[in-house]
Amino acid sequence: MFATDLDGTLLRSDRTVSARTAEAMANAQAAGIEVVWATARARHSVHELAQSCGFRGKAVCANGAVLLDLADGTPEIIDTVSIDSGAAVAAMAQIRTLIPGVVFANVGATRFVAEPAYAALCTFTDHHRHPHEMEVSEVLPTGLESMVKIVARHPELPGAQLYRTAAAVGVTGVELTHSGAAYMEMAAEGVSKASAMERLCAIHGIDRSQVAAAGDAINDVAMLTWAGTALVPANAAPEVLALADRVLPSNDEDGVAAYLEELVRDSAA
């Protein structure tokens, strides 16, 4: 099995899948390699990206909280792990006290509900949603759908600083992470890309030693340390590069495609 992060790893800086990478993924799957996308992105964004390049594998979304099967071209949800509503309320209250001015959005498997002040800070590329089309609520959580992720941002502080501040103190009941975006992310306690990969491996009967994983950011650390082989593109954060069993060419140089092409050549030898 080969698992890859999307933004900063599989995707080029313009957030597209190159023709070379699309072909390399298809050839790898044809050669019997299970290719999995592992991302912080939501279901709708993963579906759009898969349609753009013909990807038909499985995807780990929301940093491990949602598993999708794209085999027939539609994003079928096969598993979710939700955040307990009490833990969500407590975590948001703790962070509000720790970092005054922070604002939140709650993410379900199919819905995204933001505080008005959160939506006001967004651009389309933050969540692949137009801010003026976001569902908003003055009070979170709404309780209308099981929550798989909480995102937090601040009008003045970058997402990385929010994450470092909260991680240094510790927030109970949720799993903190950061994907390099303008916001900090939270999933249910114990949920990560690694925990989702473990669930997928159990479905396919694959041992973790047979898994290679590629990623570039903090939210990839758990997956990289869990997998049998840790692959990191040259453009990754320094603390992530330190975990690499092998450094790949950068995302703009199609480093993931080069690795998959090598796997296919080796399997045919």
Q: What is the residue-level pLDDT of the chain in tens, covering all 269 positions?
A: 999 999 999 999 999 999 999 999 999 999 999 999 999 999 999 999 999 999 999 999 999 999 999 999 999 999 999 999 999 999 999 999 999 999 999 999 889 999 999 999 999 999 999 999 999 999 998 876 789 999 999 999 999 999 999 999 999 899 999 999 999 999 999 999 999 999 999 989 999 999 999 999 999 999 999 999 999 999 999 999 999 999 999 999 999 999 999 999 998 87
- pLDDT, residue 145, reads 78
Q: CA-CA distance, 127 to 15, in Å (whole number)?
A: 13
How far is residue 71's CA from residue 203's CA, in Å, rounded to a whole number? 15
Helices 19-30 and 43-53 cross at an angle (nearest 10°) of 90
Give the C-alpha separation, 191 to 168, whole Å: 19
- CATH dotted code for 2-81+192-268: 3.40.50.1000
Name residues whose C-beta falls within 8 Å of residue 15's C-beta, 6 or more positions apart in sequence.
7, 125
Give the fold, CATH level 3, of 85-188.
3.30.1240
Q: Rg of the chain over CA atoms, in angstroms?
A: 18
Where exactly are the structural domains of the chain?
A: 2-81+192-268, 85-188
Looking only at the bridges linking them, the beta strands covering 212-214 and 2-4 are parallel
Burial 31-69 (b: 16+ CB within 10 A, else e): eebbbbbbbbbbbebbbebbeebebebbbbbbbbbbbbb
Residue 162 identity (one-letter amino acid) = L
The pTM (predicted TM-score) of the whole model is 0.93
Q: What is the pLDDT of residue 134?
A: 93
